[in-house]
Each structure stands twice: as C-alpha cells, then as structure tokens.
A and B are shown apart, each in its own frame.
Chain A
C-alpha cells in the first residue's frame, strides 16, 4: 500500500527534524522524546475515534488491549502484535517481533541506542488511543534486538 511509504518517510523526517533542532540549541535534548510522544498522542486520539465509530462497546480492559493488538495494529502497521502479556493488575506488555518502523534499519547492534527515538511516536499513539477509550496509561518502549520491540503499558487507576 503506497500510503505506508509516505507515513514511514514522514515519521523518519520528523524524528530527524526534532533532533536536529535540539542540536542547534533551540530545544533542550530531553524534550525531543516528549515532543514526538505528544504528537503521537494527538494522532492516536484522532485515529481511535475514527476507528471505533462503528464497533461494539468493549467489555473490559483486556478487550480494549486485544483490540489495540489486533485491529489497531493491523491497520496502522499491517500486522498484529505478536505477543501480549499481562499480569492482570494493569500492566500489559505488547511485543512486536518485526516492528515496521524499525525494519528499515540494519538489524545489528549498530543503531540500537537510536532505536528508542523511533518508538516515541508509537508510544504516544498507543497512549492517545487508550486515552480516548477512557483509559489513562503510561506507555514506554524498549528494544533489545532489532527489529523486535516491546511496548509496556501501565494502566493508571484513577
């Protein structure tokens, strides 16, 4: 699907752009990940609204997480989440063994430290989607080996 290429390229340019303006001293370094995450948050909110317009009501939290792993991930990244784990106390770990935004980078250790920059937007995407479904959460990501990555969702009970 041709649209995918556009989004991938736009995402990469966004990450590069945010970090370049940080380098030039216009913005502090730590704010870059926050910026990207906030952009992802806003997009996630909008996307989930359009997506769940006609779907049935979700039974519970687990149902929502399954929706994110299957339908949402399939639409955005063309594949499902490979593994969902939970401790049934509000922590979910979503594992994607071939994350679309990382497949374009070489699969060795070379760019491992930079990989987290490319996950910030997606963390925001998940957090925004959940937020508009009524769930407040904190989403973090880690990469142990390219292109596999894990997103950890911590549900915040109000």
Chain B
C-alpha cells in the first residue's frame, strides 16, 4: 500500500471510539422512541444488566482475580481491574457507611460521555451512562451478590464528578461470606 500504516495506539483509540459512538447512537435512538426519561433510564439499565451477566465471564477469564473476602475488595477490583480493562479509566473508591456495604466509584473522566456536550433540552433527568449501572449490577448478580447500583452524581447534570453508588444488599445466608476463624 502506498499509504503509511498508522501506528497502533491510534487504532486502539478508534476502537474505543467505536463503542462510545455506538452507545451515543443508541441513547439518541432511545430518546426518539421513549418520551419519558425514566423509561430510557430503565431500558438502559436492563440492557446493561444483560451485558453485565455475560461480561463478567469474559472478565473472569481475562483477569485472574482470586476470591474476594469483603465488599471493599470487590469494589476495589471493579474499579482497578474491570474499569481499567474495559474503559481504560480507574475510578477512585470511597466507602460511604460504617457497616461497609455502601461504596462509591468516583470518575473524574467518564469515557462514555466523551463526545457529549450536554444533555438534550427537556431531558434533564436522563442518566446517560445508566448502562454502566446495569452492567455492574448484572455482573455482581452472576457472582451471587445482590446490589443496588445507581448514579449519585453526574457530570452531565452539572455536578463536578460522576459518582456511581454501589449498595450491597444483605444475603439471606450471609454466613458463607464470613472468613473462617
């Protein structure tokens, strides 16, 4: 070929752009189909759930993480390994309550909304990245952990950072997760 072949890093960036652009087109189409923001949010969450249940297998196959013994370990793994692997960013983790089952992932830079300037007019309660919540919820459920995942802060709605809150729900037989003495 007469044209010089572009370097690898550019190609990888474009690969990520493919996912981000596809997601944007999807949200745009959903906004056209559904009038209410809650419907779009629910749809994105359901979609994310479907993706998460399958993504977790891919994740576990690629990263050789060992069994976790606490909720904070799990959240650290989600932030430092999973996010890094799939989105190329590492959110910081904070624990929100004393009983250590509520955590927050704080993202300075949200790769999914890289090309979004602002939410469209009349869509102020749209959670643009609700897919992420669904993915995390689906993935956790596949490893037998029930959790509530929502957006606590969103840069697109005017907050300074994007914050995802994970609340691990109590298991009926929690004895299994306690470390043996």
Contact = CB atoms under 8 A, between A and B. Distances in A.
Interface of A: 1-7, 9-11, 13-14, 16-17, 21, 26-27, 35, 38-40, 42-43, 46-47, 50-51, 54-56, 70-71, 74-76, 121
B83 to A, nearest CB: 11
**Interface SS of B by simple majority:** helix
B55 A1 contact: no
A46 B16 CA distance: 13
B3 A43 contact: no
Nearest to B55: A9
Nearest to A43: B21
- Chain B interface extent, by class: 20 to 34
B71 interface: no
Interface in B13-33: 14-19, 21-26, 28-29, 33
Given A2-B62, A2-B86, A10-B19, A21 B14 contact: no
B18 A47 contact: yes
B58 A17 contact: no
A6 B25 contact: no
Given A21-B33, A26-B33, A55 B25 contact: no
Contacts of A27: 33
Interface of B: 1, 3, 5-6, 11-12, 14-19, 21-26, 28-29, 33, 43, 47, 50-51, 54-55, 58, 62, 85-86, 115, 131
Contacts of B115: 46
Contact of B11 (A40, A70, A75): A75
Given A16-B50, A75-B15, A6 B55 contact: yes
A42 B28 contact: yes
Given A6-B86, A46-B17, A55-B3, A13 B28 contact: no
A101 to B, nearest CB: 12
Contacts of A71: 5-6
Contacts of B17: 46-47, 50
Given A1-B15, A3-B15, A38-B29, A43 B22 contact: yes
A51 B54 CA distance: 30
